[in-house]
Structure 1
Amino acid sequence: MIIDSHQHFWNYEPLKHEWIDDSMSAIRKDFLPDDLKKVYAENDIDGCVAVQADQTLAETDFLLDLASKNDFIKGVVGWIDLRSDNLETDLEAYKEHERLKGFRHVVQGEADSNFLLRPNFLRGISILEKHNYVYDILVFPHQLGAVLEFVKQFPNQKFVIDHIAKPYIKDGFYDGWAILMREIGTYDNVYCKLSGMITEADFNTWTPTQIHPYMNLVLKAFGTKRTLFGSDWPVCLVAGNYKKVKELVTEFIAKMSSTEQAAIMGGNAIKFYNLK
Structure 2
Amino acid sequence: MLKIDAHQHFWIFDAIRDSWITDDMHVIRRDFLPHDLQYVLHENGIDGCIAVQADQSEEQNGFLLHLTEGNDFIKGIVGWVDLQAENIEARLEFYSHTRLMKGFRHVLQGESNRALMLEPAFKRGISLLSKYNFTYDILIFPDQLKYAAQLAQEFPQQKFVLDHIAKPDIKSNKIGEWAADIKQLAANKNVYCKVSGMVTEADWHNWTNDTFTKYLDVVFNAFGTERIMFGSDWPVCLVAAEYSAMKAILGGYVQQFTAAEQDMIFGGNAVSFYKL
Q: TM-score range by the shorter chain?
A: over 0.9
Aligned equivalents of 2:248, 2:29: Cα separation in 1: 25
Aligned equivalents of 2:145, 2:88: Cα separation in 1: 26
Task: Verify the 8 A CA contact 2:5 2:49 in the aligned structure 1.
Answer: yes
Residue 62 of structure 2 aligns with an amino acid whose one-letter code is D
Equivalence for 2:237: 236
Query: Is the aligned partner of 1:108 residue 2:113?
Result: no
Aligned equivalents of 2:74, 2:140: Cα separation in 1: 25
Q: CA deviation at 1:93?
A: 2.0
Query: Secondary structure of 1:146's match?
Result: helix
Q: CA deviation at 1:208?
A: 1.1
State, as a whole percentage, how many aligned pairs show the same letter.
51
Residue 152 of structure 1 aligns with an amino acid whose one-letter code is Q
Query: Secondary structure of 2:198's match?
Result: coil
Equivalence for 2:133: 132
Query: Is the aligned partner of 1:166 residue 2:167?
Result: yes
Equivalence for 2:72: 71
Aligned equivalents of 2:70, 2:109: Cα separation in 1: 31
Aligned equivalents of 1:155, 1:68: Cα separation in 2: 34
Equivalence for 2:48: 47
Question: Could you tell me the TM-score, scaled by structure 1's length?
Answer: 0.98
Q: Give me the CA root mean square deviation.
A: 0.7
Query: Secondary structure of 1:24's match?
Result: helix
Aligned equivalents of 1:262, 1:151: Cα separation in 2: 26
Deviations 1:220-273 (A, max 9, x none): 100000000000000000001000001101110012100100000000000000
Query: Is the aligned partner of 1:222 residue 2:261?
Result: no
Query: Secondary structure of 2:68's match?
Result: helix
Query: Secondary structure of 1:170's match?
Result: coil
Q: CA deviation at 1:148?
A: 1.2
Task: Verify the 8 A CA contact 2:168 2:174 in the aligned structure 1.
Answer: yes
Q: Which runs of 4+ in 1 moved over 6 A?
A: none
Question: Could you tell me the TM-score, scaled by structure 2's length?
Answer: 0.98
Equivalence for 1:187: 188
Q: Which moved more, 1:134-143 or 1:34-43?
A: 34-43
Equivalence for 1:27: 28
Q: CA deviation at 1:115?
A: 1.0
Query: Secondary structure of 1:228's match?
Result: strand
Q: CA deviation at 1:23?
A: 2.1
Aligned equivalents of 1:170, 1:107: Cα separation in 2: 22
Query: Secondary structure of 1:84's match?
Result: coil
Task: Verify the 8 A CA contact 2:60 2:79 in the aligned structure 1.
Answer: yes
Aligned equivalents of 2:257, 2:96: Cα separation in 1: 39
